[in-house]
Amino acid sequence: MDVEALRTFVAVARTGQFQAAADELGISQQAVSKRIAALERHLGAALLVRTSRGSRPSLDGQVLLPHARRALAALEQAERAVRPGSRPLRVDVLNRRIAPAQAVYRFYRSHPGMDLDAVTLGGENAVQAAHAVLEGTVDASFRALAAERVPAGISAERLLDVPLELLVGPTHPLADAPEVRPADLAGHRIWIPGIRPGTEWAEFYRALSEAFGLSIDALGPDFGDEALMDALADSASLATLVGGGDRYLWPQGHDLRRVPLRDPTPVYPHVLLSRSGERHPVLTALREYLRTSGPRTPDDVWTPDWVVRRTDG
């Protein structure tokens, strides 16, 4: 059924005049007549009775009229539901403890009128997350994605480079160092439980290991962040890597130390993925916020050569 013809029928039934309906709809009276005739042919029924004073619904038209009004109202509601800005922006932040979630939270705090939902897609890798954006499961996602693996229809902008830090217990040999070069970590065990094959973070840490001769592993069961903090506090040899904007909490007695990495500074490159041409106003505001309020990227950064290049300014 032609929606515009249905809308025209409702307008004629309300105004009682073909010309008045034409003026309301912004079309000619001839177009109104053609639409009504096409609708009547489609339904096989006369919907309007023409009189010297105008037009009124026939018996069949009176039966159709309430259904037509409900159908048009439902269509309008559906259009409003997907119109940019009419619903919350759904952003995949990967993990609620790490830098993207904290950046989105700071954006939300500084833009109290913005409506958004921070979600996590779980174990999906960067390519799967990009397809979730394409399919509309989420509106945007933060991922470290190789430039050649960005699907058609996806806009990829590197907006959040997070410097890595060494996290160790108080008896670790590097616990009191003001900063550490990545090359100086050779020979130290770096444990990052939760690295899964096929994920972008597995590719990132493999590239980091190869670039600086590091020993990074995910051996053993992953009992969560709290168990990792306990293990670091009790060990004089174990270390892990965290992002400078990541938010991890541990008991005060653990006395864990965050040591910056310098010369060069490895950064985890979070790329904001969204549908090409996406016009949601909250996404526009989030992009601008990340461009202007994100942490300053060090001059001596290291990232894998496969990641989307950063475009500043």
Indicate whether 146 and 241 sit together in one domain.
yes
Q: What percent of the chain has pLDDT over 90?
A: 67
Residue 218 DSSP SS3:
coil
Predicted confidence band of residue 1 (pLDDT cuts 50, 70, 90) = confident
pLDDT digits (tens, 9 = 90+) for 61-92: 999 999 999 988 888 767 765 665 568 899 99
Q: What is the pLDDT of residue 82?
A: 64
Residue 29 sits in a domain whose CATH number is 1.10.10.10
Indicate whether 36 and 138 sit together in one domain.
no
Confidence (pTM): 0.71
Indicate whether 159 and 267 sit together in one domain.
yes
Q: How many domains does the chain have?
A: 2
Q: What is the mean pLDDT of residues 4-10?
A: 92
Indicate whether 120 and 13 sit together in one domain.
no
Q: What is the pLDDT of residue 67?
A: 93
The most confident of 65-74, 76-85, 146-155, 169-178, by mean pLDDT:
169-178
What angle is formed at CA 127 by the lines to CA 121 and CA 128, rounded to 5 degrees? 40
Q: Which of 27, 58, 82 is a domain's end point?
A: 82
Residue 282 pLDDT exceeds 60: yes
Burial profile 87-97: b = 16 or more Cβ within 10 angstroms, e = fewer: bebbbbbbeee
* Helix, strand, coil abundance in the chain, percent, nearest 5: 40, 20, 35
Indicate whether 99 and 241 sit together in one domain.
yes
Indicate whether 251 and 278 sit together in one domain.
yes
Q: What is the pLDDT of residue 311?
A: 62
Indicate whether 52 and 134 sit together in one domain.
no
Indicate whether 113 and 24 sit together in one domain.
no
Q: Which of 47, 82, 117 is a domain's end point?
A: 82
Q: What percent of the chain has pLDDT over 70?
A: 95
pLDDT digits (tens, 9 = 90+) for 185-220: 999 999 999 888 888 999 999 999 999 999 999 998
Q: What is the pLDDT of residue 295?
A: 67
pLDDT digits (tens, 9 = 90+) for 244-254: 989 998 999 99
Indicate whether 39 and 17 sit together in one domain.
yes
Q: How many CB atoms lie within 10 A of CB 2?
A: 12
Q: Which of 48, 82, 116 is a domain's end point?
A: 82
Burial profile 197-217: b = 16 or more Cβ within 10 angstroms, e = fewer: eebbbbbbbebbbebbebebe
Q: What is the dihedral of CA 89, 95, 97, 101, to 10 degrees?
A: -20
Indicate whether 172 and 231 sit together in one domain.
yes
Q: Is the Cα torsion angle 246, 247, 250, 253 positive or negative in sign? A: positive
Indicate whether 248 and 271 sit together in one domain.
yes
Residue 267 sits in a domain whose CATH number is 3.40.190.290
Residue 8 pLDDT exceeds 60: yes
| Structural domain harbouring 10 | 3-82
Indicate whether 127 and 231 sit together in one domain.
yes
